[in-house]
Amino acid sequence: MLLTITTTHQPATDLGYLLHKNPARLQSLEITGGQAHIFYPEATPERCTAALLLDIDPVALVRSHRGPAGEGFALEQYVNDRPYVASSFLSAALVKAFNTAMNGTCKDRPELPEVLLPLEATVAVMPAASAEQLRRLFVPLGYEVETEAHLLDPTQPAWGNSRYFTLRLRHPALRVRDLLSHLYVLIPVLDRGDKHYWISREEADKLLRRGGEWLPRHPEREFITRRYLRFAEFVNPTLERLLADDSLDEETPETTLADFPADAVGTLAGASESPEVVAEASAPANGEVPVKQNLHDLRLDRVAEEIRRLGAKRVLDLGCGEGKLVRRLLKNGTIEHILALDVSWRELERAQQRLHVAEMPPRQRERLTLTQGSLLYHDARLAGYDAAAVVEVIEHLDESRLAAFEQVVFARARPGAVLVTTPNADYNQRYEALAAGEFRHHDHRFEWTRAQFAAWAAGVAARHGYRVRIESLGPEAPEVGAPSQLAVFEQ
């Protein structure tokens, strides 16, 4: 397993001070399971690279009972990926080798740790479910991510790719300790084979220490926390409150939402895409502090209300995410059946948990079907519904695939009414955290102005025999309109 860190900051050899390791010397340390070697393949004033090479001995792992349990095949204890992949051994080695740097101290050059440097890191190899997963974890931290997939077996190309990638990260301006803390936390998150990574309560503290500055703003913070801590019973409640989505939406919007920049909140799927606290409800009569309502709740409430007005009995929630709309729809007694569909298995699992489907009384459970599917392919299960909600979904589809979406929903499924919401790009200039032309969420493929949305909606309605009206969602601002928009199509 090899990690290299390169900078072109001038003089590049400052990296040696930062890492507290002399570029001229090879150093070796004992770590659990083997040895770590630190050396510099290049060290010039223009460019300097430090390398951390782990030499893990799988047989020693077995002897120290830290190796794979051998549940897989007979020789798994001896023939396994531990020597080659980035795993918690690398995290442990980072702390041991670069402790001073990780703590942000530099005796000889105290100002250096705060300096933002152009940094590149290469990890060979990183286990991951997909290249997309690597992007999801590192792109929100500001890295340019390059991945190289490796075949499972170069002599058998038909077997396809393995779960191992060479990962290259580039950041234009970052503190060395940030890079180290990102790797320290995310490596064990990515390595599912790391079953013997022992979780103690101290791990929660470590995660807070190493991730405290950046994790609360990471869109995948909940996934990262759960995977880092592995077992729910060890999830420290404080940490959970700090990092879980829940603390960022319904329960306590007033304390957190406003603090997050628009592009930093929400999962990849956009499930809690709600940085925008938009309305202060008038002070309740009971004298409690007024509750700020976030934009996403406002959209969902509006759509649920519209479905109630339509008197729909059979309702589709297309791109249902974690089920925030479903929760509202279940409260509407007129609705007999809800089919909630999403392409993401992970979102569906979350929906299942958040809606407590397993504990629902049978009659309630029968009202709901949660199912996986894509809105880009015809799906006969979608026919025969009174209304369909498509809340904050279209902007996650490639614009070139919208014609397929249109066919699936408006030509084939043909619900009595279709409610589509999407951000209003005209409003984006109001978000200080968004640079011009930037989207509110990193998975958005486009964001439309009011004129663009209206033109698309009118075209769809005309082509498929629907009437359409468009409403704004959220408080109107002069010139730019409201933050979000809703199109109501009716047959």
Structure tokens at 459: 């075209």
Taking the C-alpha atoms of residue 249 and residue 79, their distance in angstroms, rounded to an integer, is: 46
Nearest to 296 by CA among 321, 271, 317, 262: 271
The answer to whether 318 and 388 are in contact (CB under 8 A) is: yes
Cross-strand bridge partners of residue 53:
2, 37
Residues 6+ apart with CB under 8 A from 439: 263, 395, 428, 446, 447
Using the minimum distance from each CB to ligand SAH, give the nearer residue, 128 or 269: 269
Using the minimum distance from each CB to ligand SAH, give the nearer residue, 343 or 460: 343
Does 342 sit near ligand SAH (CB under 6 A)? Answer: yes
String marking each residue 204-243 x if it binds ligand SAH according to CB under 6 A: ----------------------------------------
Tell me the one-letter amino acid at 402: L
Measured CA to CA in angstroms, residue 449 lies from 271, 405, 452, 455 at distances of 22, 20, 5, 10
Residues in the chain: 491
Residue from 376, 402, 434, 480 touching ligand SAH (CB under 6 A): that is 376
Tell me the one-letter amino acid at 61: L
Does 374 sit near ligand SAH (CB under 6 A)? Answer: yes
Using the minimum distance from each CB to ligand SAH, give the nearer residue, 445 or 464: 445
Using the minimum distance from each CB to ligand SAH, give the nearer residue, 51 or 139: 139
Does 347 sit near ligand SAH (CB under 6 A)? Answer: yes
Does 330 sit near ligand SAH (CB under 6 A)? Answer: no
Does 49 sit near ligand SAH (CB under 6 A)? Answer: no
The answer to whether 139 and 167 are in contact (CB under 8 A) is: no
Radius of gyration of the chain (CA): 25
Determine the interface stretch with ligand SAH among 64-72, 96-104, 173-181, 342-350 (rule: CB under 6 A). Answer: 342-350
Using the minimum distance from each CB to ligand SAH, give the nearer residue, 81 or 342: 342
Residue nearest to ligand SAH (CB): 321
- Report which DSSP code applies to 399: G
Does 474 sit near ligand SAH (CB under 6 A)? Answer: no
Q: How far is the CB of 273 from ligand SAH (least distance, A)?
A: 7
Using the minimum distance from each CB to ligand SAH, give the nearer residue, 97 or 348: 348
Determine the interface stretch with ligand SAH among 36-44, 57-65, 103-111, 369-377 (rule: CB under 6 A). Answer: 369-377
Q: Write 253-260 long-range contacts (CB < 8 A, 24+).
A: 253/277, 253/291, 253/292, 253/293, 253/294, 253/297, 254/289, 254/291, 254/292, 257/292, 257/294, 258/292, 260/217
The CA dihedral of 282, 284, 289, 294, to the nearest 10 degrees, is -50
- Report which DSSP code applies to 331: T
Taking the C-alpha atoms of residue 244 and residue 350, their distance in angstroms, rounded to an integer, is: 12
Residue from 271, 295, 409, 460 touching ligand SAH (CB under 6 A): that is 271
Does 375 sit near ligand SAH (CB under 6 A)? Answer: yes
Determine the interface stretch with ligand SAH among 46-54, 119-127, 173-181, 391-399 (rule: CB under 6 A). Answer: 391-399
Cis preceding linkage at 125, omega within 30? yes
Burial class from Cβ neighbours inside 10 Å (0-12, 13-18, 19+) for residue 162 reads middle
Determine the interface stretch with ligand SAH among 93-101, 187-195, 337-345, 472-480 (rule: CB under 6 A). Answer: 337-345
Taking the C-alpha atoms of residue 30 and residue 8, their distance in angstroms, rounded to an integer, is: 30
Residue from 94, 393, 418, 457 touching ligand SAH (CB under 6 A): that is 393
The answer to whether 184 and 175 are in contact (CB under 8 A) is: no
Residue from 319, 474, 481, 483 touching ligand SAH (CB under 6 A): that is 319
Using the minimum distance from each CB to ligand SAH, give the nearer residue, 147 or 267: 267
Using the minimum distance from each CB to ligand SAH, give the nearer residue, 131 or 152: 131
Using the minimum distance from each CB to ligand SAH, give the nearer residue, 54 or 390: 390
Task: Give the footprint of ligand SAH on residues 280-299 (CB under 6 A).
Answer: none
Using the minimum distance from each CB to ligand SAH, give the nearer residue, 174 or 482: 482
Determine the interface stretch with ligand SAH among 45-53, 125-133, 173-181, 386-394 (rule: CB under 6 A). Answer: 386-394
Centre a 10 Å sphere on the Cβ of residue 49 and count the other Cβ atoms it contains.
Answer: 20
Q: How far is the CB of 321 from ligand SAH (least distance, A)?
A: 3
Residue from 21, 396, 440, 444 touching ligand SAH (CB under 6 A): that is 396
Determine the interface stretch with ligand SAH among 144-152, 158-166, 265-273, 307-315 (rule: CB under 6 A). Answer: 265-273
What value, to the nearest 5°, has the Cα angle with vertex 345 and ends 340 and 350?
A: 75
Q: How far is the CB of 290 from ligand SAH (least distance, A)?
A: 24
Residue from 343, 382, 457, 488 touching ligand SAH (CB under 6 A): that is 343
Structure tokens at 128: 């991951």
Name the residues that contact ligand SAH, by CB under 6 A: 269-271, 319-321, 324-325, 342-344, 347, 374-376, 391-393, 396-397
